[in-house]
Structure 1
Amino acid sequence: MERTFLATLALTLSTLGLSAGEIAPTAVTFVDGSVEASLTGVAGDPTRGREIVGNKSMGNCVACHEVSDLSDVPFHGEIGPMLDGAGERWSEAELRGIVANAKMMFEDSLMPSFYKTEGFIRPGKAYTGEAADDTFGPLLTAQQIEDVVAYLSTLKE
């Protein structure tokens, strides 16, 4: 009986795109904009985080932010603050909150909420330009958020 329950739970989580230790976008707890708990329980990989920050089809952070470490990526934006020194300006919990949903810390932020699935006026499906359908999920996975946080934490001035 227990084995059947665990198999059903694993299948349900996998269908939702979640792993057993992952916090769903609707279950993230923000305290003053920060998210203390890891979204996955797995340490982020700063190398993968760097790729996500600079990848125009993933995080696309460089569309709005300049990052000196990503000088190999063209066309950095100037809308958001420069990310050099982000690991000194904000704690890991603050970075996690900002990347997951910047509006929880900075109400007037133009930054997209990378780990949010509801409360939108008119959501689209990732970067496709299409309307959301029943597969609508966050722009980044929980592990990708952890990877970005790990990378941003390395950015010291």
Structure 2
Amino acid sequence: MDRVCFPAHLTASTLVVDETGDHVLLTLHAKARRWFQFGGHCEAGDATLADAALREAQEESGIAELRLLPGPVQLDAHDVDFCHPDGTVTHLDVRYLAVAPAAARHATSAESLDVRWWPIDELTTIEPALEPTLRELAALGRAALDRAL
């Protein structure tokens, strides 16, 4: 679970949706220069992957009141070439869904160039700067939210 593990380690991320499930809050990652869900490496204070996913989402979105739904909605493995000193590392990413309250105001963290709400149905408009599995994650997130309501 530690970021020093090579050639692979666990990461945790969160797709943030509005209460309707029609919009997703994404971050334009400063290093990758692509739009992603919020997430990152586990830290010593994270008791679970869900704790890590929620912490990362709160830190990177600026929204403290996120409601994390139970259980992951997607598992993903992807290579990252700027994360580890020994070279390309595989992130084994466990992805969750969180709902932002209607009055939530987001902020842009130091890790991001921008944070913005996007209509789920318009995610194709931000290609090729869209993380490749994000449309699938958004569909899985919408289905998980529908089941939770």
Superposed pair shares fold, TM > 0.5: no
Q: How high is the TM-score relative to the length of structure 1?
A: 0.24
Comparing both structures, which one devotes a greater share of its residues to strand?
Answer: 2
Q: How high is the TM-score relative to the length of structure 2?
A: 0.25
